[in-house]
Amino acid sequence: MRAAVLLALLVAGELAAQPTRVTCGPPTARCGPASSGLPGSVTTTTLPGPLPNADDFNRTTLGSNWAPMAWFPGTTTLNGSTINSAQAGIGPTGVLWVPNQPMPTVAYACARIPAATGSIPAGPCFANTATHDVICCGLDTTQQYWFWDTTASGYVVGNNTTFVPSTVYVGVERLGALSYRCSTSVDGKTWTAQTGPQDMTGTLTDGTRVGLYFRSNLAPVDCFETGTGALPTAHACCVLP
């Protein structure tokens, strides 16, 4: 009898320890592909959630984990697998990740852009909501971009580099309050720096928020991750441990 009770308690404890797997969406905050390169469900936590956080956009409404960069005129749209700008022409659109704010001084954001169709970039960014400054790293069909959209200088592109077409991951690292770096990856965890540290003094006033920026609708994003420290190397971007 005692053995049966002990076994029942052990089973109950094991079941209670099992993570809950749900499809990413509000009000969950920790979501991402279930395996490398494949969107799916992972263990989630409710807001605000620990870092790293990720989102696979496998739904049709953005939900409470995101807020618009209201100073830009564009809006975003979801189709069940990607997030994109709703604007067909040139027009800035941005969304901010809500659960973790402000971000640590040393932090990253990365995204997967699997099917760009033109030469206008989108990608992860750091932003300042008070000064309306954004610095980003993005991809289009042929290039990686380091670009920013700020009150000091408007939309500016710098340090474009060509890349192998199979490169679909792009990451931005915040190395300090005003220092940032862009990298790209084929597998989401082996990163190649495309820029050295970029000092944004006089252009960006302390980018404490992370998000996504779209210059048009030609580079949809199908997953996003943010965390503290450097870009992930032990797991692929969006595939949380």
Quote the pTM value: 0.81
In a domain, residue 239? The reply is no
- For residue 64, give its domain range: 2-228
d(CA 138, CA 159): 11
Would 234 be classed as within a structural domain?
A: no
Q: What is the mean pLDDT of residues 51-74?
A: 92
Mean pLDDT score of the chain, rounded to an integer? 79
Question: Taking a C-beta distance cutoff of 8 angstroms, is the pair 97, 208 a contact?
Answer: no
Per-residue confidence (pLDDT) for residue 23, from 0 to 100 = 35
Confidence grade of residue 11 (pLDDT, cut at 50, 70, 90): very low
134 within some domain: yes
| Cβ pair 234, 103 in contact under 8 A | no
In a domain, 14, yes or no: yes
Asked whether residue 207 is domain-assigned, the answer is: yes
The answer to whether residues 227 and 51 touch, using CB atoms and an 8 Å cutoff, is: yes
Residue 56 corresponds to which tokens in the numbers above? Answer: 């696979």
Overall average pLDDT of the 15-43 stretch? 35
User: Domain containing 183 — which CATH number?
Assistant: 2.60.120
What is the pLDDT, as a whole number, of residue 169? 95
Is a pLDDT exceeding 80 seen at residue 126? yes
User: Based on the structure, what is the number of domains in the chain?
Assistant: 1
> Is 235 inside any structural domain?
no
d(CA 211, CA 111): 10
> pLDDT tens digit string along 138-185?
988 888 888 889 887 888 888 778 777 777 899 999 999 889 999 999
Q: Is the predicted pLDDT of residue 37 greater than 50, yes or no? A: no
| pLDDT tops 50 at residue 18 | no
Block residue for tokens 């809500």: 98
Residue 64 lies in a domain: yes
In a domain, 58, yes or no: yes
Instruction: Give me the percent of the chain exceeding a pLDDT of 70.
Output: 80
DSSP 89-131: SS--EEEEE-SS-SPPSSEEEEEE-----SS--EEEEEEETTT
What is the per-residue pLDDT across 69-114, written as a single tens digit (0 to 9) for each?
A: 999 989 999 999 999 999 888 889 999 999 888 889 999 999 999 8
What's residue 49's pLDDT? Answer: 61
